[in-house]
């Protein structure tokens, strides 16, 4: 099964992807996580991405498509959930080309997490992440057992630098301009299955909606 999760920043893509992979045994491919790992490792790719990420702009398509092609090819047999990619119509078309080139594969389902814009700032500025295992928490909505500490490995949680209110507002503008059209790309594409999911609800309710759709496809 090959799944794409779409949605504005803070819609809960990462949170739901982790639950999907735990339930269905797929691989989680997060373009944002891969970029952050490249930055920590100090690679050329990481250096190239830095200024775009810190300002809330998109990293150029050619950089991202090359990076994701490698990850997708490796995960293709096991099945995967894409989180944060594709983020432009060009990336979506390149993804189709890539899958088609490998044994006529395609995206099986797109889950579009819909969140009201006034929810975004609260979600993003309250997000805390584990730099060790990548677990994601929220200071009010999804708290760790001990404040500031990861439940999985006891590491001190961090706030992503691009979760400041100024950068979040830029990321929202970037989403509206460049990523929202990707929803229509999939909706207008013959043979693709797109589900709109109300992502304003609490995380367990959103998961229940997501699992209901995926369980039906798995039968």
| Active-site annotation holds for 177 | no
14: contact with ligand ADP by CB under 6 A:
yes
Comparing CB distances to ligand AMP, the nearer of 12 and 56 is 56
- Write the interaction track for ligand ADP spanning residues 126-155; mark x where CB under 6 A is met and - where it is not: xx--------xxx--xx-------------
Comparing CB distances to ligand ADP, the nearer of 20 and 206 is 206
Comparing CB distances to ligand ADP, the nearer of 160 and 189 is 160
CA proximity to 178, closest of 70, 85, 48, 49: 85
Return the number of other C-beta atoms located less than 10 Å from residue 143's C-beta: 14
Going edge to edge, which strands form the sheet with 109-114? 27-30, 80-83, 2-7, 109-114, 194-198
Using CB under 6 A, which of the segments 31-39, 106-114, 150-158, 208-216 binds ligand AMP?
31-39
- Long-range CB contacts for residues 37-42, cutoff 8 Å, separation at least 24: 38/67
In the complex, the smallest distance separating the C-beta of residue 4 from ligand ADP, rounded to whole angstroms, is 13
CA 70/CA 209 separation, integer angstroms? 31
How is residue 130 written in tokens? 């584990």
Query: Looking at 2, 13, 18, 128, which residue is catalytic?
Result: 13
Count the residues of the shown chain that bind ligand AMP, applying the rule CB under 6 A: 17
Query: What is the per-residue burial (b if ≥16 Cβ within 10 Å, else e) of 104-133?
Result: eeebebbbbbebeeeebbebbebbbbbeee
Comparing CB distances to ligand AMP, the nearer of 45 and 58 is 58
Query: Looking at 2, 123, 127, 128, which residue is catalytic?
Result: 127
| Active-site annotation holds for 127 | yes
Question: 112: helix, coil or strand?
Answer: strand
Query: Looking at 160, 189, 201, 213, which residue is catalytic?
Result: 160
123: contact with ligand ADP by CB under 6 A:
yes
Give the C-alpha distances (Å, rounded to integers) separating 37 from 41, 82, 134.
Answer: 6, 16, 10
> What is the contact surface with ligand ADP in residues (CB under 6 A)?
7, 9-15, 123, 126-127, 136-138, 141-142, 199, 202-203, 206
Catalytic residues: 13, 87, 127, 160, 171
């Amino acid at each position: 099964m090959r799944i794409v999760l779409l949605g504005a920043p803070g819609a809960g893509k990462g949170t739901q992807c982790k639950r999907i992979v735990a339930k269905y045994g797929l691989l989680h491919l997060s373009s944002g996580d891969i970029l952050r790992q490249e930055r920590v490792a100090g690679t050329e790719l990481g250096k190239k991405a830095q200024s775009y990420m810190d300002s809330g702009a998109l990293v150029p398509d050619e950089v991202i498509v090359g990076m994701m092609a490698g990850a997708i090819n490796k995960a293709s047999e096991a099945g995967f959930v894409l989180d944060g990619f594709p983020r432009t119509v060009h990336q979506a078309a390149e993804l189709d080309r890539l899958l088609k080139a490998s044994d006529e594969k395609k995206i099986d389902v797109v889950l579009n997490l819909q969140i009201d814009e006034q929810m975004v700032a609260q979600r993003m500025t309250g997000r805390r992440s584990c730099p060790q295992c990548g677990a994601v928490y929220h200071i009010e909505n999804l708290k760790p057992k001990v404040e500031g500490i990861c439940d999985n490995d006891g590491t001190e949680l961090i706030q992503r630098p691009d979760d400041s209110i100024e950068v979040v507002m830029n990321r929202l503008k970037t989403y509206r301009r460049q990523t929202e059209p990707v929803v229509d790309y999939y909706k207008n594409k013959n043979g693709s299955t797109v589900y709109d999911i109300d992502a304003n609800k609490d995380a367990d309710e959103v998961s229940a909606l997501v699992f209901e759709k995926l369980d039906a496809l798995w039968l």
